[in-house]
Structure 1
Amino acid sequence: MPAFRQVGEKQLPNTVSFMAWSPKRDLIALANTSGELLLHRLDSFQRVWSLPPSEYTGKDITALAWRPDGKILAFSLGDTKQVVFCGVEKAEILHVFPIQSPVSCMHWMEVTEENSALTAFYNSEDESVLFLPKLPSLPKSYSTTSKIFSEEKSDEITNLLGEVRLNVLVLGGGSGSVELYAYGMYKIATVTGISGTCRSLSLSSDLKSLSIITEVRSVDSDTQICFCQLDTGLLSDCLPEVTRMARKFTHISTLLQYLHLSLTCMCEAWDDILMQMDHRLTKFVQEKNTSSQVHDEFLELLLWGQSSPELQALLMNQLTVKGLKKLGMSIESSYSSIQKLVISHLLSGSEALLYHLGEVKGMSLWKQKFEPLGLDSAAVEGAITAVGSFSLKANELLQVIDKSMKNFKAFFRWLYVAMLRMCDEHVPPELNKMTQKDIAFVSDFLSEHFSENKELFDRKGKYFNVERVGQYLKDEEEDLVSPPNTKGNQWLKFLQESAHLKESPLLFPSYPQKSLHFVKKMMEGVIEQCLQKPAEVIGKSVHQAAFLPLYTVPESSENTPRLFELPSLWNDKKAKVHNVVFSMPEISPSKLYLLRKVTDARRHVPSSVMSIDLSHILDNDNAKSHCGVYSCLDARFYDDEMLTVVLRGPEEENGRRILAQLPLSSTLSCETEFIWEPNKRLDQQTGAIPCQGIVLGNQWRELENMKAQFVAVNGIRKVSCVLSANLRHVRVFEMDVEDEDDEGADSQNVSADQGALETTMSSQGQEEDKGLMTKEHTEATEGQNAEDKLESEESLELS
């Protein structure tokens, strides 16, 4: 029986650019060159869903990574310079954030370091749940509302944060810059000054160091592949503080997005139909022959019941009775929707922001703990003030809405009766009664709103601003066209007369001339500055601890796909070592090299370098001896002590492909001291590198009828996926499969114990897997039948 059980094979229509196994489930994510993201299940390689590219995000996927809990998939886009989070349950975008430069690689890790203070924090309950009401979900009826907050009965912030344990998304860029995001949401460090382009990176689980594989290009010589280790000791030393700060700032970042989406919904609730009165009055002014003012003509209609022919034509021909009723209903509906969004979403989100910023301010005052991380109490205080100003502006909008609704109801009621009289139609008795107070109210409304404004015509192309709410929602830098009338406000008068109170830091500035959008942008800028300072301080504390040039890449291999190519990095959590596996086919094609570096960059432990001889790797009692040299095409760490490799046989055997498991235990146990000459690359001193031979036994399988080139593995789920050289043909294998016929009674007991252990480890993942064969997959099955049939035929032709 051949080793490893093949469970799926597929010929894909588009070239695969990335593939990554889920850390918790039997799912593999594939990204292709058309910008499509695909999720496949291990069983028969069934497709669960696909996320096509969109204009909103982009289609040039440059990197891919799973969150450690397997619930969110992150990918970066080079054309739009964005990072996108996608939920695993459905093909929907959960979160998008911009980045400075295109990402060339990413790694999402979880902190596993045990710390008594940290454990106490993990076990404690988030007190904000006790003091803050749950944020209401945004209405689904608006098109631009993100899916993050629209799921019913879901705690939006918790869904994005994931588990309480700190996890960090690391992004490596083409310009040698690296950014670290706590929970994938909040930037905790920005590192610059790294030589070359980041090809692969891995942050140690104890946060003590960050290892990077870089590609350094030079004009005069070939491209160099180098290993760089950065000391991130400040993160490790202040782990409990970093976790607390990151969690608070992630809450704040999420709330900012919540407020942004709430304001977007308000803009959609405001309808352009509300501007019809302004535009028709402007047209009326431009076309009429009389020199009288518009509000004078309306006042004459109000007092004497008489109107000029021009005004009568405006009302009866352009506005019409039916149009007036429609406009009145639109205004009431739109204003009510905006009012509800302000009260239930904007003000609730602002209160939650003030709560979390208040806690951050308390943290910043504990200078011994948080000052080294760059937490500045003055910056936090400025952020609190900015949120207070935003709340004031939101309350001002509520007052404007309330006043406008009363004004419009009274005005439309009077105008409706006046237009009915013009038509000689019956006026309902309940509308015919109008007191002197009502007349005075309409008169004041006409005087205030129906006066011509030459400055407004220059700016907006209209003379009037009857509708006062829309100006608050416009994303413009200009001042409000019609700011609220504060004449007679006793509180403002008291503040102006009190010199001490006017400058008091306890009072939030109100910005009466600015729109809600302007104040929101200002608030976001102040909070962003507050959040950026720790990232700058932590980033400056990171320094290079080691830089080891490995080998050069000749120009002849420049056309080789760079997306999967070696080296490969692995974070050994138990031994606290970073492993790098690579090959140098131009120098020693039959050898595979392993570089080991301790994660604690402050320990001056020399790098350990070993090589594995692949010359006679299949020589044993059960396999015939193969002459010639085997070379390694791709290698990935299956676990701490096992490598999964794709080998290419000698040319006289038609370069057959082998999928194999290389045990590293014997190699690691025979470590021999290697003295690295600092002024030379590793490929210039290969003769001194200790070498170890390995015989595979039965841990290999020939990949027939497939020009295999790359492999992706997951040792936790015991699976691998092999990709062909043309990047379109994949095969999926279960790796740890035993022949049941050869099992004895003793081995059955062992297998039972192992099965119990595996069941315990994977029960949660299997339960979650059940939710994935949902309606989306069922609906997609019929559409896939024709495609699967075609792919099967292509596969048979290839065979």
Structure 2
Amino acid sequence: MRAFRQVGEKQLPNPILYMAWSPKRDLIALANTSGELLLHRLSNFYRVWSLQPNENTGKEITALAWRPDGKIIAFSLGDTKKVVLCDAEKAEILHIFKVLIPGPVSCMHWMEVLDENSGLTSFYESEDQSNRFLPKLPSLPKSYSTTTKIFSEEKSDEATNLLGDVRLNILVVGGQCGFIDLYAYGLYSIATVNKVEGTCRSLCLSSDLKSLSVITEVRSTNNDPEIHYVQLDTGLLSSYLPEVTKMARRFTHISTLLQYLQMSLTCMCEAWEDILLQMDLRLTKFVQEKNTSTQVQDEFLELLLWGHASPELQALLMNQLTVKGLKMLGQSIESSYSGIQKLVISHLQSGSEALLYHLSEVKGMALWKQKYQALGLDLPIIEHAIAVVGSFTLKASELSQVVDKSMKNFKAFFRWLYVAMLRMSDDHVPPELNKMTQKDLAFVADFLAEHFSANEELFDRKGKYFNVERVGQYLKDEEDDLVSPLNTEGNQWVKFVKESTHLKDSPLLFPTYPQKSLHFVRRIMVAVINLCLQKPSVTIGKSVSEALRLPLYTVPESSENTPRLFEMPALWNANKSSMHYVVFCMPEISPSKIYLLRRPTDPSGSVANGLIAIDLSRPLNTSIDDEDPVAEIPGNGTYRCLDARLYDAETLTVVLQGQEEERVLAQLPLSTALRSEEEFTWDLTLRLDQQNDSIPSQGLVWENQWRQLDNMKAQFVAVNGIRKVSCVLSSNLRHVRVFEMDVEDEDEDEEDRQEESQNITPDQDTLEETLTRQKELGASMEAQEGGEEEQPAEGSSTDVLEQTSGSDTL
């Protein structure tokens, strides 16, 4: 009998390197050798979407992981050392960050802390109330090319969506030299661990946060690669779970706010460059064709003072620019100025206020030393961060004043130029535009002096003939002082602070940087906040210690070209039993055995029968129930395991190869082997493969849970016990088959249905009797409708109804 129903099969154009089932839905993510990420649905293995590599991401995917709620996929890129968070619904890149570990990421695991392990209401107490006190962040303009899309949609709560539920989830990233990073909610580095020797090949953080299990590849003294199992004690995370959750959510908000401010500044720089390009486009031809040696500024000043324009300027205004073109140019530049001002007032101010709020909350945590001191919150650094955010807010306010003044000069200039062009064309000038006060003339003169200056030191060469330096100098990411800082001579508050000896150095006042640009202050702010964020990560990382190291076996030479994701050992965490499972094979020592290592997530705990060997050479085709014999298994019963994954805590899904090269997909029940009383005494001075003979071995019964894989050289398998699905991949990494594991095959179901239909087909006499009874019932109902009262006789309508009902059922 064949179990499992095949629901899809496909030949893929590019070899598959990584595959992972969604924990919540019937979706599987695949990564191929071309750097493409594919999402397929279980039904007929239908492709939902594909994400192509680009210059912002990379082309070499080295690891893959799903967020526990199935809404986000994380994948790492080896050529750029970046981790990308992708929306599973829309194939949109939500967030990109560069990992701190040296070399490319080699493995990832995304876990979620369970409620039963948290202790009463710690998760619910950790939910922040910032949305009750802070307005939603304005969305960034879609017209600008922001590098990421966290805040670029119409909604402004993408950061909250990335945080997910209140429950804490952690993305664990492992790489070379034993470096491991833990990212709370996949965004904020909550711990950096450097306590493991070798390259991480697989890792798993327990759902109770008590331990982190790692499979590493270590070079031995004779330079042979060895596989080790390492259990790290992460007890600090478990002991301070409510505090860690609160701190992680605050710091995650802070991290996303820093990115929001950076993207706002990017949009402002693009708007500033738009003004330069539009004005330069109009002035370039004028400057190239004019015969006089006068500057652009002189040409406009002559028109302003004497009302006369040179032939070149008049040709520029009337033929190239035109009155209609002037209106459009003025509206476009005004829109760019307004965009900058809106970004300053709405985005920078809102982001700065949110930063101050969350940093103040973190400061309150740091003051509660009994709960948060062990996590590494540094009060002086947090206070410094608050002060620098205040400085950034003041600098943004200063830029807003500069933009406001520049807009006044700009409007006065374009109003005057519009009137001058109307007079050149002898058109009617509206009375409301014909009057110019001395103040208006001063605005125009300031505009000409500010925007058409020929002094190369006074403006950015991005604008060759036109500059907006008074605004642009704030947006340059340089350490040089401002060329024309804001004049504060008439500001009474600045004068009062300077003259007051008590307020001058008061910690209650935010420091100012009057000679520095907005970008410069932002860089100072980011550096201080990053230091504030990294201190707990370093402290928590130092608290992690190695609790156990078990050397397993040497890597066979034949596996050097095997994709590392599919190479065993495979790690798995059974949440309910708080147990780490490790499945592995030693093909050069015992090719027909599968080994199962179990360790409690509590490093101080122990488990009976912690290591067992499953012997596939023993007879496996015997059934527990003699009345229900199992179909004959192909081959002589001797198999070697090609790949194995834990389906659940008591079932192992394996791909086996027989002596005749046949391939079998099977579910091996582990309950009998796990109840074995045989114990193995581990000599830690030796590798496990050197103690193979003393490992207790068990044979298993397949029952009916197996299926022969015809016409396919199956090699690897990925399973999801919650969704009851599996995906088998061939040795050439191109041929895929997908199965529902708890459903029988459709062909057999169809045969069973046909047999049942043949057994219950009624004969001709039964059909005629049924028709006669239906006619009698119809006549009785007609008599009742005609008002005739009949007493039910024996075998009348009541009995016929019951019998007819039985006939219908039949």
Match of 1:149 among 142, 148, 151: 151
Per the alignment, residue 707 of structure 2 pairs with 701
Deviation sequence 1:448-479 (CA, Å, 0-9, x none):
65555353379778587445323333334433
3-state SS, counterpart of residue 339 of structure 2: helix
Flag the 1:478–1:698 CA change in 2: closer, same or farther, 3 A: same
Note if contact 1:457-1:463 (Cα within 8 Å) is conserved in structure 2: no
Contact 1:708/1:724 (<8 A) preserved? yes
| TM-score (norm: length of structure 2) | 0.85
Tell me which residue corresponds to 2:368: 366
Q: Which moved more, 1:128-137 or 1:24-33?
A: 128-137
Q: How does 1:635-784 map to 2 (within 5 A)?
A: 635-650=644-659, 653=660, 655-737=661-743
Residues in 1 aligned to 2:587 and 2:118: alpha-carbon distance in whole angstroms: 48
What secondary structure is seen at the aligned counterpart in 1 of 2:178?
coil
Could you say which residue in structure 2 is the equivalent of 1:408?
Answer: 410
Q: 1:664 to 1:445 in 2, by over 3 A?
A: same
Contact persistence 1:597–1:607 (CA under 8 A): no
Residues in 2 aligned to 1:733 and 1:301: alpha-carbon distance in whole angstroms:
82
Other-structure match for 1:341 = 343
Distance in 1 between residues matched to 2:291 and 2:498, nearest whole Å: 46
Query: Gapped runs of 5+ residues in structure 2?
Result: 623-628, 753-810
SS in 2 for 1:502: coil
User: Considering only aligned residues, what root-mean-square deviation do their CA atoms show, in Å?
Assistant: 2.9
Deviations 1:507-555 (A, max 9, x none): 1223222222222222222111100100000001111111111000132
The Cα of 1:166 is off from its aligned counterpart by 0.5
Residue of structure 1 aligned with 2:109, choices 104, 107, 126: 107
Looking at structure 2, the residues matched to 223 and 606 of structure 1 have their Cα atoms a distance apart, in angstroms, of 30
CA distance, structure 1, for counterparts of residue 42 and residue 286 of structure 2: 69
Cα gap change, 1:277/1:559 in structure 2, threshold over 3 Å: closer, same or farther? Answer: closer
2:39 matched residue in structure 1: 39
User: Aligned to 2:245, which of 240, 243, 246?
Assistant: 243
> TM-score of the superposition, structure 1-length normalised?
0.86
> Is the partner of 1:685 in helix, strand or coil?
helix
The 1:508/1:313 distance shift into structure 2, 3 A limit, reads: farther
| CA shift digits 1:620-664 (9 cap, x unpaired) | 2534474363100000000111110001001xx2x1011111111
Which residue, out of 226, 229, 232, partners 2:231?
A: 229
Q: Please tell me whether the aligned partners of residues 15 and 32 of structure 2 are also in contact (alpha carbons under 8 angstroms).
A: yes
Q: Does the 8 Å contact 2:592/2:617 carry over to 1? A: yes
> Are residues 353 and 273 of structure 1, via their aligned partners in 2, closer, same or farther at CA, if it must alter by over 3 Å?
closer
Q: Which range moved further: 81-90 or 432-441?
A: 432-441
Cα distance between partner residues in 1 of 2:299 and 2:596: 90
Write the letter of the residue equivalent to 1:641: E
Distance 2:293 2:10 in 1: 80
1:18 aligns with 2:27: no
Q: Is the 8 A contact 1:81 1:102 kept in 2?
A: yes
Amino acid at match of 1:379: I
In structure 2, the CA distance between the partners of 1:278 and 1:429, relative to structure 1 (3 Å rule), is: same
Q: Which amino acid aligns with 2:557?
A: E
- Matched letter for residue 170 of structure 2: V
**1:125 Cα deviation after fit:** 5.5
Q: Separation in 2 of the partners of 1:512 and 1:315?
A: 39
Shift in Å, 1:293:
8.1
CA distance in 2, matches of 1:190, 1:617: 48
Please state how far the C-alpha of 1:83 moved relative to its aligned partner: 0.7
Deviation (angstroms), 1:124: 6.9
Match for 1:552: what amino acid?
Answer: T
User: Aligned letter for 1:405?
Assistant: M
3-state SS in 1 of match to 2:116: coil
Q: 2-side partners of 1:741 and 1:526: how far apart? A: 68
Distance 1:742 1:180 in 2: 53
d(CA) in 2 for partners of 1:702, 1:450? 81
Partners of 2:123 and 2:418 in 1: CA distance? 65
Indicate if the aligned counterparts of 1:231 and 1:602 stay in contact, CA closer than 8 A. no
Quickly say closer, same or farther: Cα 1:154–1:517, change in 2 above 3 A.
closer
Spell out, residue by residue over 1:244-303, the C-alpha distance to the aligned partner (whole angstroms, 9 max, x if none).
Answer: 101111111122222222223333333434356579889999999989887666555433
Could you tell me how far apart the structure 2 residues matched to 1:413 and 1:179 are? 59
Q: For the residues of structure 1 that align with 2:459 and 2:240, how far apart are their CA atoms?
A: 59
Equivalent position amino acid for 1:634 in 2: D
- Counterpart CA distance in 1 for 2:54 and 2:104 is 18
Q: 1:465 touches 1:482 (CA, 8 Å); kept in 2?
A: no
Distance in 2, matches of 1:260 and 1:403, equals 24
Hey, what's the Cα distance between the residues in 1 that align with 2:169 and 2:136? 24
Amino acid in the other structure paired with 1:526: V
Distance 1:671 1:148, change over 3 A: farther
The amino acid of 1:178's aligned partner reads: I
Distance 2:619 2:59 in 1: 42
Give the letter aligned to residue 38 of structure 1: L
Structure 1 counterpart of 2:594? 592
CA deviation after TM superposition for structure 1 residue 370, in Å: 0.6
Paired residues, what number?
A: 740
| Residue aligning to 2:643 | 634
Identify the range of structure 1 (612-621 vs 452-461) with the bigger mean alpha-carbon deviation: 452-461
Match of 1:622 in 2: 630
| Per-residue deviation, 1:180 | 0.2
Distance 1:698 1:102 in 2: 43
Residue 57 of structure 2 is matched in structure 1 by: 57
After TM superposition, the structure 1 = structure 2 runs for residues 199-210 of structure 1, keeping only pairs within 5 Å, are 199-210=201-212
Q: CA deviation at 1:315?
A: 5.9
In structure 1, the gaps of 5 or more residues are 744-799
CA distance in 1, matches of 2:25, 2:463: 59
Change (3 A) 1:441 1:630: closer
Cα shift readout 1:379-403 (whole Å, capped 9, x = no counterpart): 1111111221221122122211211
Q: 1:694 to 1:451 in 2, by over 3 A?
A: closer
Deviations 1:119-140 (A, max 9, x none): 2442675321211122233333
Task: Give the Cα separation in 2 of the matches to 1:708 and 1:256.
Answer: 48
Farther-moved stretch of structure 1 (479-488 vs 168-177) = 479-488
Distance in 2 separating the partners of 1:135 and 1:168: 26
Q: Give the conservation status (yes or no) of the 8 Å contact 1:110–1:168.
A: yes
1:236-385 alignment, distance < 5 Å: 236-274=238-276, 298-306=300-308, 324-385=326-387
Residue identity in the other structure for 1:708: A
Which deviates more from structure 2 when the two are superposed, residues 478-487 or residues 311-320?
Answer: 311-320
> Does structure 1 conserve the Cα–Cα contact (< 8 Å) formed by 2:598 and 2:607?
no
- Does the 8 Å contact 1:149/1:156 carry over to 2? yes
Find the counterpart in structure 1 of residue 796 from structure 2.
none
Larger-Rg structure:
2
- 8 Å Cα contact 2:117/2:208 also seen in 1: no
When structure 1 is superposed on structure 2, of 533-542 and 495-504 the one drifting more is 495-504
Q: 1:9 to 1:521 in 2, by over 3 A?
A: same
1:317–1:514 CA distance, 2 compared to 1 (3 A): farther
Q: Kindly, what percent of the aligned residue pairs are identical?
A: 75
